[in-house]
Amino acid sequence: MRRNAINKKNKSALRNQVKKLREAINNNDRETALKLLPITFSFIDKSVKKGTIHENKGNRDKSRLSRQVELLTSPTSK
């Protein structure tokens, strides 16, 4: 019961942080996304360390988020 509450709190904090980053990405707000990326990575790493999420899920989320921010920051030249 106690672990369930702790995991729920950690997962909720992680989801809120990821949501903030995704919102910045959707708004094409490059500066905010770059500021939020290391903070979000920290949340993901802490959740993995605490056992709230699996290590592979953490790595997958970090990879996808960093790729989205990278695509946002790189100029599209064709």
Average pLDDT of the segment spanning 34-50: 96
Q: Which domains does the chain have, with CATH numbers?
A: 2-72 (1.20.58.110)
Average pLDDT of the segment spanning 6-28: 95
Task: Record the tokens describing residue 76, joined without a space.
Answer: 């599209």
What's residue 76's pLDDT?
59
For residue 75, pLDDT over 70 is answered with no
pLDDT confidence of 15, banded at 50, 70, 90? very high
Entry pTM: 0.86
What's residue 72's pLDDT?
86
Contacts within 8 Å (CB) and 24+ apart, 67-76: 68/22, 68/25, 69/21, 69/25, 69/30, 69/33, 69/34, 69/37, 72/25, 72/28, 72/30, 72/33, 73/30, 73/33, 73/34
